[in-house]
Chain A
Amino acid sequence: MPIGLSCPLPLAQYPKITMAHGGGGRLMHMLIDELFTTAFGKTEEHDGATLEVEGGRIAITTDSFVVKPLFFPGGNIGTLAVNGTVNDLAACGAVPKALTAGFILEEGLPTETLWRVVLSMAAAAEVVGVPIVTGDTKVIEHRDGNGLFINTTGLGMVADGVSIAAGRARPGDRVLINGSIAAHGVAVMSVREGLKFESDLKSDCAPLAEMVQRLLTAVGPTAVHVLRDPTRGGVATTLCEISCAAHCCVVIHEETVPVADGAMGACEILGLDPLYVANEGKMLIIVAPDSADAALATLRAHPDGKDAAIIGEVVESPQGRVIGRNTFGGERVLDMHSGEQLPRIC
């Protein structure tokens, strides 16, 4: 039976949306599973969808960018809007072909700010070799005069034989990442009002489509089972989504996860777990066990993967769990975060 206006409102215990509903954690997944999926129907659990069309297969994805502040060490909202969507296409195994850009601007926003952002987008798109082909502009009433939000949609082509989905992770598969984690989240936090701290850390914001294509060529398209960019919610939350979709367990050896000293130091001081901090130039890669070494060598030969590492493996059970092991022999459940990660008191 189709749902109608008489259907009860899902998420009744949350009468209003909180910031945690957009934090990439459990509350956001509840919103998607209970509200959007109820209305729109179930879709593939991925950052993008692939569709069969005459003459091939396309990948399509959309993402909105609301980062504050607009400019941060290593990038700005414009570079994020291009690279974030390019990386969602890359996570489908697709070669990016075109982007759209929708702007929501607040009354009072300096035009010069918009110009700087747009120039950054043009430059980022040129690096990837993908045109921004259409767009939209809306202006909303004045709030604090700094509002600039961007939505980008990406279209890409998926080669024959490529079949990437979170549900394809299998026991025995190896989990890789292309470099040090947590830089983006810490870099943005370091310039946020009220949280400023001195750090020379830069966001890792980078397009990964070309690196992914090289990987698919090197190890063969069927050996790569899952690709996901661990943005909001970080590596741990993304792996939780994968373990749930694939009905398996992911085990992470925590000491093998690369974290740069600067990011580690900031996380220690702020009381953040780097495994839950956002990245914008990282890809989690799950490959068949006999392709792991070749995948690692290919990644390390690429500038965006020189610090790549094998960080764990997929096992059968407990299903839907992610387990972190440390060298002390301790184990912990890496659960999906409930919402925003918040710096602690002391």
Chain B
Amino acid sequence: MRHISEYRDASRMGPLLDAISASVARPINLMEVCGGQTHNLLKYGIDAMLPEQLTMLHGPGCPVCVTPLELIDQAIAIAKIEDVIVTSFGDMLRVPGSHTDLLGARSEGADVRIVYSPLDAVDLAEKHRDRQIVFVGVGFETTAPIDALAVLRARQKDLDNFSLLAAHVLVPPAIDALLCAGDVNIHGFLAPGHVCAVMGYTEYEALAERHGVPIVVTGFEPLDLLVGIHMAVRAIQTGQATVFNQYRRVVTREGNVPAQQTMRRVFALCDRKWRGLGLIPNSGLRLRSELSRFDAAARFGVAGLTARESTECRAGEVLRGALQPPQCVAFARECNPDHPLGAPMVSAEGACAAYYNHRRT
């Protein structure tokens, strides 16, 4: 399997680890932004093989983890309305809201369905004209274009029974907010390869320059991660505050321009509350006013719902890289995948779940 086996070739790991060790001359904190990267660092045991002076901090790049509690509560409230089908990607269904999750709502009789693509939700709307189909659209710049396409398709088909509960977030404003907050000392970043596949990396060039840190656009396979780490460490040691692209087989500087155009046709920038991180200006996407009839929160009157975060869960610190999951007193005790206190223990990309599943034996 090309692009799987060759990027998991263990025989090429040793020389890369040696090169990383040789490059690290002082304590370095490097943050990988994407939860997929976090999981593979732990799954392949890479974090444990790195030199002691190099600490990997896990960033806020888990889409369901940063989705605000209100949105989950809104989705559940909508799901309880008669003749509504709520659809979403799979790992959204187990994220705890204030009282229950979408799976819990389903067990109470709500019609909640997993789809692989929002376009399948549009198909459902076409098939069930007598019911309202809502797609819970969360995620970063990776999922926003296809969600945008779903809205455009619903408009083209004149489907008045499709709507989007949107809570898309953008990576660069979050990195900016983390660096501006300054409570965590981050010397460099591995930028999320798939977000950059869509957006390119010009936005990251401005960030690198503004904050004086190197950013390496990095893939997800073990060798991608090791090469990305090596590039970042070298740049940190030599003081190069610029963007490097490790993931050239997928990412170009400009990104996927048609996808960006589709996003812009449907979404406008907005301030967005991030679970654990608080309100970040211009860090989210909302439906453009001319498409507001597809806004599920408005259609079902749930936009005003508010929620208060649990005080037991320290997900906010985990998402900022200020706390490693095993340092949390609830980790693997009160908080586990059967009884998660927060989203990072549930999601396939959550840092707490990564430690729970791959913690040292």
Q: A252 to nearest B CB, angstroms? A: 12
Q: Is the CB of B116 within 8 A of A344?
A: no
Knowing A18-B103, A26-B338, say if A345 contacts B116 (CB, 8 Å).
no
- What is the chain A residue whose CB lies nearest that of B146? A346
B347 within 8 A of A: yes
CA distance A329 to B114 in the complex (A): 35
Name the B residues within 8 Å of A333 (CB-CB): 357-359, 361
- What is the chain A residue whose CB lies nearest that of B358? A332
Category for how many chain B residues contact A: 35 or more
B121 within 8 A of A: yes
Of A13, A18, A197, A339, chain B has the most CB atoms within 10 Å of the CB of: A18
CA distance A327 to B13 in the complex (A): 10
Q: How many residues of A contact B (CB 8 A)?
A: 38
Q: Is the CB of B337 within 8 A of A343?
A: no
Q: Is the CB of A331 within 8 A of B360?
A: yes
Q: Is the CB of A346 within 8 A of B143?
A: yes
CA distance A331 to B45 in the complex (A): 6
A326 within 8 A of B: yes
Interface flags for A315-341 (1: CB within 8 Å of B; 0: not) read: 000100101001111111101001100
Knowing A18-B103, A342-B91, A344-B349, say if A318 contacts B138 (CB, 8 Å).
no
B8 within 8 A of A: yes
A271 within 8 A of B: yes
A86 within 8 A of B: no
CA distance A330 to B225 in the complex (A): 14
Q: A137 to nearest B CB, angstroms? A: 28
A53 within 8 A of B: no
B90 within 8 A of A: yes
B96 within 8 A of A: no
Q: Which of A19, A270, A335, A345 contacts B357 (CB 8 A)?
A: A335
Q: Is the CB of B46 within 8 A of A328?
A: yes
Knowing A26-B338, A330-B43, A343-B89, say if A194 contacts B222 (CB, 8 Å).
no
Q: A residues engaging B (CB < 8 A)?
A: 13, 16-20, 26-27, 193-197, 261, 264-265, 268, 270-271, 318, 321, 323, 326-333, 335, 338-339, 342-346
Q: A328-B46, A332-B361, A333-B359 are in contact. List 12 more A-B contacts (CB 8 A).
A: A16-B108, A193-B113, A194-B120, A268-B4, A328-B13, A328-B45, A329-B45, A333-B358, A342-B94, A344-B349, A345-B139, A345-B349
CB-CB nearest 9 A-B residue pairs? A330-B45, A342-B90, A327-B10, A344-B348, A194-B115, A343-B90, A332-B358, A330-B44, A18-B107
